[in-house]
């Protein structure tokens, strides 16, 4: 394999490992629909606890999938790594054993 292909596959694997959790996938789906959401808006939409949601958001931010900005007392998240949406869309369209 050439270096460019190896690098691309490693990046895809990194993204898949990072988002391989139902809550993280749900967060990404929400951020595809709404370009920027606060932690409380995400919790309300998903019906999840703030501590667990914040943990997942922070994990994806550290790994470069999300970006955040503070406005007053709220932190707003948005998708930073746009390729993640395309990868997930391909997997959703796959009819493998479903």
**CATH no. for residue 7?**
1.10.10.10
Question: Which is nearest to 27 in space by CA: 58, 72, 4?
Answer: 58
Task: Tally the domains of the chain.
Answer: 1
Residue 55: C-alpha distances to residues 27, 39, 68, 77 (Å): 12, 10, 13, 13
Please check whether residue 39 lies inside any domain of the structure: yes
Examine residue 98 and state whether it is found in any structural domain, yes or no.
no
With a CB cutoff of 8 Å and minimum separation 6, the contacts of 1 are 9
Range of the domain at 32: 3-92
Tens digits of residue pLDDT in 2-48: 999 999 889 888 888 988 899 999 999 899 999 999 999 999 999 99
- Structural domain contains residue 97: no
The structure's pTM equals 0.83
């Amino acid at each position: 394999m050439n270096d460019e292909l190896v690098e691309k596959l490693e990046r895809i694997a990194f993204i898949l490992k990072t988002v391989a959790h139902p809550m993280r996938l749900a967060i990404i789906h929400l951020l595809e629909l709404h370009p920027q959401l606060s932690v409380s808006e995400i919790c309300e939409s998903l019906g999840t606890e703030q501590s667990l949601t914040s943990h997942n958001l922070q994990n994806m931010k550290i790994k470069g999938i999300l970006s955040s900005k503070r406005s007053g007392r709220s932190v707003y998240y948005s998708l930073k790594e746009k390729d993640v949406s395309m990868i997930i869309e391909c997997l959703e369209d796959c009819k493998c054993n479903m």
